[in-house]
A = this chain, B = another copy of it.
Amino acid sequence: MQPNPDSEIENESNYTASKYRTPDGAPSDIVIFTITSTERAAGKKALPERDLQVLLIQRKNWPYEGKWALPGGFCGEDESMYDCARRELAEETGVAEVHLEYFNVYSEPKRDPRGWMISHAFFALVHERYLAERKAQDDAADVRLFPVSEALAMELAFDHRVILRDALAKIRENMLATTIAKEFLPAEFTIGELYQVIRTVVPDFAEQNFIRKITSTQSRQGILEEVTDEQGRGKLSNRYSQRAAQLYRFTDYKPRLSIYG
């Protein structure tokens, strides 16, 4: 039986602060993902190289001084965990209006040498356009983007490698099961771009006739719609190709996925 404040308390008047050991902190850690895109050949119209990256900070203090770690910070009594994460994210990247999602708690005893710290892990999906400014203005350079594969091979502080691994698994799942691809895309995008974003996060996603399926009713299930002009003609883009491609946008529709058909 663990200590339980209830067991010794009869009513409010004799309530005393717990005599039991309490946590030394409730931090949040944030796995900030972005997809960078770099032109493959200058002047040529071709889809860019895309790469899934994660933002890490280099620690200045004990413990794990000098080691790379996930950004994060301690929660205050006057805020929720989500507020805490949003605040830390804003401090780290300067942006607030991005996809931020809680995904797990990390509470193994002794995971933090400073004491009993129960960490709450979030992932954020940030379009590279938001990180561009930030990277420019901060040359202090203990903040950097790493390709996810590289970060996973590093010796990160605390249990942050495990957290990163779990976050990656989660966004892979969500990339196929939800419309989070939109976080990495402009509001209007081509099927080629969408396919590339999905493949960047989930490399083994391979659909032969992707454009065919996404265009048909059942697979798309209403999650996408064609962008049209006032006359109802399709709006096109030739940013990545000579032949202009139809632009699409995500609708608000969230399909319900089922293994039972």
Contact = CB atoms under 8 A, between A and B. Distances in A.
A257 B260 contact: no
Contact of A81 (B3, B62, B107): B107
A80 B61 contact: no
A25 interface: yes
A218 to B, nearest CB: 8
Interface residues of A, number: 74
B23 A23 contact: yes
Contacts of A84: 2
B259 A177 contact: yes
A4 interface: yes
Nearest to A104: B102
Residue of A109, A114, A261 contacting most chain B CB atoms (<10 Å): A261
Interface string A75-119: 111111110100100010000000000101101110001111010
A255 B259 contact: yes
A77 B21 contact: yes
A207 interface: yes
Q: Which 9 residue pairs are nearest across A and B when measured between Cβ atoms?
A: A219-B261, A213-B261, A176-B258, A257-B257, A81-B107, A11-B62, A80-B107, A2-B76, A77-B116
A92 B49 CA distance: 54
Dominant SS among interface residues on chain A: loop
Given A18-B24, A118-B26, A80 B104 contact: no
A44 interface: no
Nearest to A172: B256
A23 B22 contact: yes
A17 interface: yes
Given A4-B73, A84-B2, A260-B176, A25 B25 contact: no
Interface in A222-238: 223
Given A18-B115, A21-B77, A23-B26, A214 B261 contact: yes
